Amino acid sequence: MRGDFKYISFFFVVIFLHFPSGNSNSPLAPALYVFGDSLFDSGNNNFLLTLSKANFPPYGVNFTKREATGRFTNGKIFPDFIADFLGLPFPPPYKTIRISVKPTGLNYASGSCGILPETGRDLGKCLTMDDQINLFERTVKFELPRYYQNSSELWGYLGKSIFVVTMGSNDYLDHFQPTISDSTRSLDPQQFAQLLIDQLSTKLERLYNLGARKIVMFEIGPIGCIPSITRQIKHNGTCVEDVNKAVAIFNNHLPSMLKNLNTTLPGSNFVLGHAYSLATNVISNPKLYGLTDTSNPCCTALANGTSICIPLLQPCPNVDEHVFWDGYHLTETMYSLMATRCFYGTSACTPLNIQELTQI
């Protein structure tokens, strides 16, 4: 999500991540490629002129060596857990590395961006979904070929790799902010959802044309429940249901869109990640998941808890019991839950979980 933002960190920490040489055990897939927004960003925005940054404490307080790497949470994010399960190193941010060994994945995700090219512009530069795919195209055409004898080997590597994508949250967050002017303001919820679905379908097909075959596309989560929304929009109950209903329209279109891609693109395997239903179930039944707080950010966040963490302040002592880390983002506990269920479970990712996807 946006990660705010209307704040320039004076504690800018540039973390150079070196490309790991690989796992000593045989991995379940040759590589993990990541596309998305700040839910999946592991540090690309550190190197962009943007207000959307998380490269200062308390971000990363529970990460390896307690580093603020640019992940918008207290520890690991969803792709980190999936990499662990696959037996791969964490995919490093594309902006931080020069590929010098055969890659086991890359992370192109960028905080504040979305499906639409104009999303997130009010915060500065971000890598739009088109930008991310352009960078992946450059990787495929100019960087990967040096490690393979021919195109058949390269396409075999790409075809066995796992691709995870989350996009759309920021498109809706921008759409619901009347201070932001864009060409979609006049669209009703059905029209806006269809616009996003049509553009997303085109971009996913482009990924396929670049060699991606095993793609996990996630629903938009219940953003009507995040502190940034619930603390700014008057509502009854736990969440702002008008926002969630609008997001649900987009999510309801996703299954048929992915099914159509599976049907029309030979050899493709598009998997749907049920982020919305899982998150709403957690928020409705927190005790079943060992959680106690489903509405407040764990860190002391700017703007009455609706924005990013205030630098250097200590977060809550029971972060593992919180759903939300700051005004927009989830805790490591939530990412761990989602990743575990999507990788091994039977309902969080359908029609296959990621472990099953690796076996195709």
| Amino acid present at 106 | L
Q: Label residues 111-125 b or e (16+ Cβ within 10 Å = b).
A: bbbbbbeebbbbbbb
Q: In which residue are the tokens 């530069």 written?
A: 125
Please report the pLDDT score of residue 101 as a whole number.
81
Please report the pLDDT score of residue 25 as a whole number.
73
- Proportion of the chain above pLDDT 90, given as a percent: 87
User: What digits encode the pLDDT tens for the residues 288-321?
Assistant: 999 999 999 999 999 999 999 999 999 999 999 9
User: What digits encode the pLDDT tens for the residues 72-115?
Assistant: 999 999 999 999 999 999 999 999 877 778 899 999 999 999 99
In this structure, the number of other CB atoms found within 10 A of the CB of residue 323 comes to 25
Assigned token pair, 42: 């592991």
- Proportion of the chain above pLDDT 70, given as a percent: 92
The answer, yes or no, to whether residue 7 has pLDDT greater than 50, is no
Cα angle for residues 44, 251, 158 (degrees, 5° grid): 50
Q: With the C-alpha atoms ordered 105, 274, 212, 93, is the resulting torsion angle positive or negative?
A: negative
Contact 72, 38 (CB under 8 A): yes
- Mean pLDDT confidence for 22-51: 91
The residue with greater pLDDT, 5 or 44, is 44
The upper half-sphere exposure of residue 157, i.e. CA atoms within 13 Å in the direction of its Cβ, equals 19
Contact 310, 299 (CB under 8 A): yes
Cα angle for residues 229, 232, 233 (degrees, 5° grid): 80
Choose among 124, 222, 116: nearest CA to 170: 116
Contact 97, 67 (CB under 8 A): no
Cα 250 to its chain centre, rounded Å, is: 17
The answer, yes or no, to whether residue 11 has pLDDT greater than 90, is no
The answer, yes or no, to whether residue 1 has pLDDT greater than 90, is no
Please report the pLDDT score of residue 65 as a whole number.
86
Beta strands in the chain (DSSP E): 32-36, 105-107, 162-166, 214-218, 269-273, 293-297, 322-324, 349-350
The answer, yes or no, to whether residue 287 has pLDDT greater than 90, is yes
Catalytic residue set:
38, 326, 329
The answer, yes or no, to whether residue 200 has pLDDT greater than 60, is yes
Domains of the chain: 32-273+343-358 (3.40.50)
What is the distance between the alpha carbons of residues 243 and 223, in angstroms, rounded to a whole number? Answer: 7
Contact 131, 125 (CB under 8 A): no
State the pTM of this model.
Answer: 0.92
Please report the pLDDT score of residue 93 as a whole number.
97
